Amino acid sequence: MSRTQAALVTGCSSGIGRATALALARAGFPTWATARRTDDLAELAAAGCRLLPLDVTDEASMARAVQAVEAEHGSVGILVNNAGRGGGGPVEEVPLDLVRKVFETNVFGLVRLCQLVLPGMRARRQGTIVNVGSAAGLVTPPTGCPYAMTKYAVESLTDALRPEVRPFGIRVILVEPGAVRTRFMAAGETYELPEGGDDPYAAYKASVAAMVVRAHREGARGVLTAEDVADVIARAVTARRPRARYRVGAQARLAPRARRLLGDGGWDALMRRLIPFPVQ
C-alpha cells in the first residue's frame, strides 16, 4: 500500500485509537487522529498526526471530518473505525436508552463513516477500511448486553461489506482483540435502578466485576496492550494481501473454539463455574 494514502482514525483520545494513530504515523502515512475533543491529543500532534474533532454520533461532525481529509488528499485512503462505547448489564435491567446509545456509537456511526468515505475510495479504485471488533463479538459474556451485541453487528456488517466493495479495489478488514488493558475497560456506562427497587442480579454483577478485575490486573496472562492491537492493525494495513479478519490474543483465538467444543450446555456450565451467582 502506498504511504501517500491518508489515514483517518476514530476514537484517538486513549487506548487502541491513540496507539493506532501513532503506529500509522510512524509507518509514514499522513494520519488524521480524531476524537470528540482534541484537547488531549497533544502527543499525537507531536508525533506528526493531524487533529480533527469527530463525534461518530453527529452527522455533521462526521461529514466535516471526511471532507477535511478529502480536501487535502482527494480521498480517505484508510479508515480505522475504532471509536467505541461500553455498557452492559443483565438484559432485564439494562435501560433501552443505554442500548440505543451504545448502538449509535458502535454500529450506526461506523456504518455512516463507511458510507461517507466509500465514494472517494471507489473513485480512486483503492482504499482500506479497518473495523475494530472484539472477542465479545465472538463469544458473549454474561451481562454483555448491549456492548457484545454491537460487536456481533460489526462482525456481520464487515462480512457483508467486504465482497461488496472488493471489485472497486477496496479492502475491508476486521480486527477482533481479546481483553485489552486500556482506560476503556473502566468506562462502561452504569445505570441506576428505580428508587426503592431491589436488585436480584446484584450478586451476579459483583461476580462479573470481580472476574474483570482479576482478568485485567497487572501481570494477568493473556491481556493485551493497546500497542499490541495497533501493531496488528498497522501490519494488516500495510500487507499486500491482508486477511479478512485478525483475532488478536489468546482469548479471541481460543474462546470461540471452546464455545464450539462445549456446546450450549457445557458453555453455560463453565460460565456458572467462572462467575458464581448465589441466588438469595
- Is there a catalytic annotation at residue 147? yes
Q: What is the CATH number of the domain that holds 112?
A: 3.40.50.720
Question: Does 279 reside within a domain?
Answer: no
Q: Is the peptide bond before 146 cis (omega within 30 degrees of 0)?
A: yes
Q: Which of 147, 201, 204, 246 is catalytic?
A: 147
Give residues with Cβ within 8 angstroms of 185, minimum separation 6: 86, 179, 212, 216
- Has residue 207 been placed in a domain? yes
Any domain includes 1: no
pLDDT (tens place) for every residue of the chain, 280 residues total? 667 899 999 999 999 999 999 999 999 999 999 999 999 899 999 999 999 999 999 999 999 999 999 999 999 999 999 999 998 889 999 999 999 999 999 999 999 999 999 999 999 999 999 999 999 999 988 888 899 999 999 999 999 999 999 999 999 999 999 988 654 444 445 555 555 567 888 888 888 877 777 666 655 566 899 999 999 999 999 999 999 999 999 989 999 999 999 999 999 999 888 887 766 5
Please tell me the predicted confidence (pLDDT) of residue 272. 87
Does 280 map to a domain?
Answer: no
pLDDT of 4 reads 83
Range of the domain at 209: 7-274
**pLDDT score, position 185:** 47
Report how far apart, in Å, the C-alpha atoms of 104 and of each of 17, 86, 108, 112, 150 are: 18, 12, 5, 10, 9
The answer to the question of residue 2 being in a domain is no
Query: At residue 202, what are phi and psi to the nearest 5 degrees?
Result: -55, -45
Residue 274: the pLDDT is 83
Closest by Cα among 256, 75, 276 to 168:
75
Number of domains in the chain: 1
At residue 182, the pLDDT reads 59
| Residue 267 amino acid letter | W
Q: How far apart are CA 82 and CA 247, in angstroms?
A: 15
> Domain for residue 67, yes or no?
yes
Residue 230 lies in a domain: yes
Grid coordinates of 160: 457483508
Of 237, 259, 265, 253, which is closest to residue 29 (Cα–Cα)? 237
214 inside domain = yes
